[in-house]
Structure 1
Amino acid sequence: MLSESAAGVFTIAATPFLPDGALDLASVDRATDFYVGAGATGLTILGIMGEAGKLTQDEALQVVTRVTARAGIPVVVGVSAPGFAAIEALAKAAMDRGAAGVMVAPPGHLRTDAQITGYFRTVAEVLGDIPFVLQDFPLVTGVTLDPSVILRIVEDCPTCVMLKHEDWPGLDKITTLRRASDKGARRISILCGNGGLFLPEEVARGADGAMTGFAYPEMMRDVVAAAKAGDMERAHDIFDIYLPLIRFETQPGLGLAIRKEVLARRGAIAHATVRRPGPKLTPETMAELDRLLVRLEARRGAQ
């Protein structure tokens, strides 16, 4: 079961599709092996990058069943939904299939701190003893979680064991939360997203690792390991090699298509298909990506 001690790299897994948009279960297996082989300590599926909103309920459960049966590491399942009944149903089905926990983001209609804390108290009640990840991604949800609100949720909800931190700028938020833990607040795991764009700084501020889907998970593995060993210079040296691609992948609205293209080129998935509605890469973007990957591989080889 997922716990407050979770650390390392929980890779956000892309959901593979065939060229016609059908679910590609063979590539689900292939991608799972790829992520595990790249050093992931856990996987997160059916998140925003996993195109969960484009899957039917049956397809979502097929993915959960396939990944949990194969991964051999903890699997977190995104269960965010407009209503609590849908959250409860998917969460329980995922746990029955071997998931370690679930992830929930606040819906965009929440406006006040009281509404946010009340919402997550209900989430905890609905989930029962299922451990959950609080997803803090205001760029997408439109909901800003002040550190005081996060601390209140953590205090009110013992089954909240992890924060997926994706605020931007958000480094001071990590510092505030860790200082609160040092003064006696319950300490939960903090894993960070945003494509890994601020990973060295996040770990230096007290994050326990990464939860994002950058197409080179080994970068996140090595940066986190170096930072945790106290070698921040090495962490930054490794990170700097990948930064141009991280920046390119982080483009809002286009990043998933770029990420899937890179994953396909690396053999992690058979096709770079983004299920409709979704972007397609233009020849110009593909040429830019070609150049970035050539330079990246040259720098990796010289490391």
Structure 2
Amino acid sequence: MPNQTYRGVFPVAPTVFDASGRLDLDGQRRAIDFMIDAGSHGLCILANFSEQFALTDDERSAVQKAVLEHVAGRVPVIVTTTHFSSDVCAARSRAAQVAGAAMVMVMPPYHGATIRVGERGIYEFFDRVSDAIDIPIMIQDAPVAGTPLSAAFLARLAKEIAKVSYFKIETAQAASKLRELIELGGDAVIGPWDGEEAITLIPDFDAGATGAMTGGGYPDGIRKIVDAYTSGNTEGAAELYQQWLPLINYENRQCGLAACKALMMEGGVIRSDTTRHPFASMHPSTRAGLLKVARRLDPLVLSWGK
């Protein structure tokens, strides 16, 4: 689907582990089926909310293979291929394309708290990745990388590097950055997207965002908001957003990546909500608060597997 424009709700799929912390690929497939049934326009795998940083290379390959084969073209799948090395990232991206990915998502090269690359190195990094593939690149502009990426620089990348055309903006004042990026990048910015669990969803869509990459626990709720907004019913979208905001906020501020797994286990989608050590298990009070907020909304996740 090289010429397709991707829009809508593309939540991040969790990487599913058993109670011992080993890959549970059967559970992974069930999580994918739920997310598709919940109305996801597409999916993203191996992202930070997928605990990609806790996986071996062999495990990454196993998850990629299992998911892309199981999806079998039902929805487009974005594969995160982030790595510090230009050549490793290019090789990962090529392998994702061969396996059936619709797009790759990549953060700028960084390591730890202090190892960073300047704009020239970042430009060359994305240029090498672009040369290795025939599918789009989404640049993930996230605080975790600790790498400032101005809207002007991102627009330049979009205009000058062939495959760079999508942007997931997760930084502070995301809406302002999206607006500036769209203005500066013009037609080269095919996909300006909202990120960070939809905590800034409405302002980002007001600024021109066309996609949302959220957590994977309640795509049906996010889909209702996005569908209303894109149909022109912005007031209805705002009302829906106000209904779902307590859950969005609880995920974003209290639970992080563990929220999706807790919801999926509660609804029988997966058998274990294990996150890999050294992550601590979710505190029982936090879990109870999450489920209390979720039950008010009755998302599909709480009944899908029962």
Q: Which TM-score applies when normalising by structure 2?
A: 0.89
Match of 2:207 in 1: 205
- Tell me which amino acid in the other structure corresponds to 1:134: I
CA deviations on 1:159-211 (whole Å, 9 max, x unpaired) are: 11211121122111111122235xx5523112211101111221121111211
SS at match of 2:9: strand
Q: After the TM superposition, which residues 271-290 of structure 1 pair with which residues of structure 2 at under 5 Å, given as runs?
A: 271-290=272-291
Q: Report the equivalent of 1:38.
A: 38
Equivalent position amino acid for 1:66 in 2:
A
The residue identity in structure 1 corresponding to 2:200 is F
- Output one character per residue of 1:24-55: Cα deviation in whole Å (capped at 9) or x when no partner: 11111101111111111111100101111211
Matched to 2:247, the amino acid is L
Taking structure 1 as the reference length, what is the TM-score of the superposition? 0.90
Aligned 8 A contact 1:76 1:99 in 2: yes
Q: Sort the Cα spacing of 1:185 and 1:131 in 2 relative to 1 into closer, same or farther, 3 A.
A: closer
**One-letter amino acid of the structure 2 residue matched with residue 16 of structure 1:** V
Distance change (3 Å), C-alpha of 1:212 and 1:3? farther
- The structural deviation recorded for 1:235 is 0.6
Which stretch of structure 1 is more off in the superposition, 9-18 or 61-70?
61-70
The answer as to 2:114 corresponding to 1:122 is no
Q: What does 1:163-242 correspond to in 2, within 5 Å?
A: 163-181=167-185, 184-242=186-244
Aligned residues: 293
Q: Which residue of 1 aligns with 2:259?
A: 258
**In structure 2, what is the Cα distance between the partners aligned to 1:4 and 1:143?**
30
Gaps of 5+ in 2: 300-306
Q: Supply the distance in 1 between the matched residues of 2:291 and 2:78 (Cα, whole angstroms).
A: 33
Report whether the alignment pairs 1:133 with 2:138: yes
Contact 2:18–2:274 (8 Å) recurs in 1: yes
Deviation readout 1:229-278 (Å, 9 max, x if unpaired): 111111111111111111111127x4112221112213332211101121
- Corresponding residue to 2:96 among 85, 94, 101: 94
What's the Cα RMSD here? 2.0
Structure 1: 5+ residue stretches without partners:
299-303
Counterpart residue identity of residue 219, structure 2: P
Deviation at 1:115, TM superposition (A): 3.7
Amino acid across the alignment from 1:247: N
Tell me the distance in 1 between the aligned counterparts of 2:126 and 2:243.
39
Asked if structure 2 preserves the Cα contact closer than 8 Å seen for 1:110 and 1:116, the reply is: no
Runs ≥4 in structure 1, deviation > 4 angstroms? none
For the pair 1:291 / 2:297, whether they are aligned, the reply is no
Identity of aligned residues (%): 33
Shift of residue 113, structure 1, vs aligned partner: 3.4
Partner in structure 1 of residue 28 of structure 2: 28
State the SS of the aligned residue for 2:179. Answer: helix
Measured in 1, the distance between the counterparts of 2:198 and 2:282 equals: 22
**Cα distance between partner residues in 1 of 2:190 and 2:4:** 5
1:136-159, Cα deviation, whole Å (9 max, x unpaired): 11x211112111010011012111
2:85 paired residue number: 83
Q: Which residue of the partner structure matches residue 304 of structure 2?
A: none
Post-superposition offset of 1:100 = 1.3
- Give yes or no for contact 1:195–1:246 (8 Å, CA) kept in 2: yes
CA distance in 1 between counterparts of 2:135 and 2:293 reads 42
Residue type of the alignment partner of 1:166: E
* 1:59 CA drift (Å): 1.5
